[in-house]
Structure 1
Amino acid sequence: MDGVKEEEAAGARPAEIIRIAGSTSGPDTDWVAEEVPVALVYNGISHAVMMTTPTMLEDFAVGFSLAEGIVRSLDDIHDIEVTEGCRGGKNVNLTIASEAFWKLKEHRRSMTGRTGCGICGTESLDDAMRPTPVLPFTQTFDMEHYGRALEYLQKVETLGALTGSTHAAAWVHPDGSLAGGAEDVGR
């Protein structure tokens, strides 16, 4: 569509719509966020299928692997390769350390779900509601830092600005400097 750069449209596609404005309506084209099935495959064995925006999949796989406790650190991830999957999906193939892989096989759970919430597919409420570690209170933040973070998000949320239908997150250091950010349908 006119005026949209390719990098702004990554993770989005045009869709035919009926636009309603006041008392009139008519056909139009608008942008919608893409969502595709993404299989996370560890050492050749599929572990989870999540619906995600098909961008930054390596980062998604690393974050998922760390957050789910599949790996303890980045050192446990030896390789990541994104390949085409069936029916328009993607496979994210991770080669992980043997110890992490054996731990994963012992506590395997199906994560197939309609969103990236992380609860769909758990076997029990105990699995869904795992205890989280209590972290020591070590930082206070100046409210000015939050304002800078929001300004940053507005600059990097190109997909959200285009489609109006994505989430975004930013990592802010304690001094208020911004490390990065990302956006997606359901991460």
Structure 2
Amino acid sequence: MSRRANVHSSAEGAHEWGIAEEVPVEIGFNGTAWTVMMASPTDVEDLAIGLALTEGAVASGRDIKTVAIRQWPEGLTADIRIAPDLVRSDRIHRRALDGRTGCGLCGVEQLADLHAPPSALPPGPRVEAAAIRAALDSLPGHQHLNRETRSVHAAAWCRLDGEIILVREDVGRHNALDKLAGARLRGGEPDDAGFVVMSSRCSFELVFKAARMRAALLAGQSAPTGLALNLATRLALRVAAAGPDGAIVFFSPESADE
């Protein structure tokens, strides 16, 4: 979702430019607010479900009955309807999230939380460099909102051969991945193997969320941070990035074998 603005370019003169919208989105359970995220006002149901799953507040998308979206003058609300006994209250109380779009530490109440990631992934299928390159090259063609605004991130779920089958966009990179997770996991755990490609750099919260999605690999447009790589190693999640001259660079315990 975007609106238009008149801009002036030194090369092209005056023309219209799409401006990405960013609004507060309150996410809650059974009428009780949990967090407020700054997000793009699209695919809000996916965002609510994905955040609840990647943050561990809900065990399975099958447990969620409905998500009620309402528009208010101040922003949007997404109320997740779920049996009270299926909400992990310890995660709700510990993670009263202050959801800034650019904040990599959203939901971390204390430093110790950084060292409590999900369990390591079982050995997954190998993803070839050619498949990652194909996904990264085709991703811009799936970024419809970014073509209008040039200001939003994308997260894509890809088959092992690199074909992109699902994409979500948002002004926040981790919001985009939560939307992707929500879209994939709302009906339960899909059994198709695949990997995640991001339009952004690979940060530690993206590693955390990709692991929750049971991705075979996480690929980004630039190299991971040290913290992201440390977490990926602990989770046995392969990480890759676009390198110079079209190369794909692997950052993982198996990188020496790539």
1:119 Cα deviation from its structure 2 partner? 1.9
What is the RMSD computed on CA atoms of the aligned residues?
2.5
Contact between 2:57 and 2:88, CA under 8 Å: does it hold in 1?
no
1:33-64 deviations in Å (ceiling 9; x for gaps): 11100000211000000011000111111111
SS in 1 for 2:119: coil
- Give the equivalent residue in structure 2 for 1:5: none
SS in 1 for 2:134: helix
Alignment partner of 1:127 out of 110, 113, 116: 113
Cα distance in 2 for residues equivalent to 1:50 and 1:135: 28
1:150 Cα deviation from its structure 2 partner? 2.4
Cα distance in 1 for residues equivalent to 2:72 and 2:102: 19
- Give the equivalent residue in structure 2 for 1:184: 170
1:68-98 deviations in Å (ceiling 9; x for gaps): 11111112111111101242x0001110122
Answering whether residue 156 of structure 2 is matched by residue 170 of structure 1, we say yes
Alignment partner of 2:37 out of 43, 46, 50: 50
Greater RCO, CA 8 A, separation 6+: 1
1:132 Cα deviation from its structure 2 partner? 3.1
1:118 Cα deviation from its structure 2 partner? 5.5
Letter in 1 for 2:72: G
- After TM superposition, the score normalised by the length of structure 2 is 0.60
Contact between 1:48 and 1:110, CA under 8 Å: does it hold in 2?
yes
Q: Which runs of 5+ in 2 are unaligned?
A: 176-258
1:120-147 deviations in Å (ceiling 9; x for gaps): 3542122355323211222111222223
Alignment partner of 2:3 out of 9, 13, 22: 13
- After TM superposition, the score normalised by the length of structure 1 is 0.80
Distance 1:177 1:158, change over 3 A: closer
- Give the equivalent residue in structure 2 for 1:115: 101
Q: Percent identity?
A: 37
Describe how 1:5-154 pairs up with structure 2 within 5 A. 11-17=1-7, 19-21=8-10, 29-87=16-74, 89-101=75-87, 103=89, 107-115=93-101, 117=103, 119-120=105-106, 122-154=108-140
Cα distance in 2 for residues equivalent to 1:62 and 1:145: 29
Greater than 6 Å deviation, 4+ residue runs: none
1:14-36 deviations in Å (ceiling 9; x for gaps): 1244x2416xx976542111110
Contact between 2:66 and 2:82, CA under 8 Å: does it hold in 1?
yes
Distance 1:123 1:141, change over 3 A: closer
Q: Normalized per residue, which structure has more helix?
A: 2
Q: Which runs of 5+ in 1 are unaligned?
A: 1-10
Structure 1, 90-99 or 168-177: larger mean CA deviation: 168-177
Cα distance in 2 for residues equivalent to 1:124 and 1:51: 22
Contact between 1:58 and 1:82, CA under 8 Å: does it hold in 2?
yes
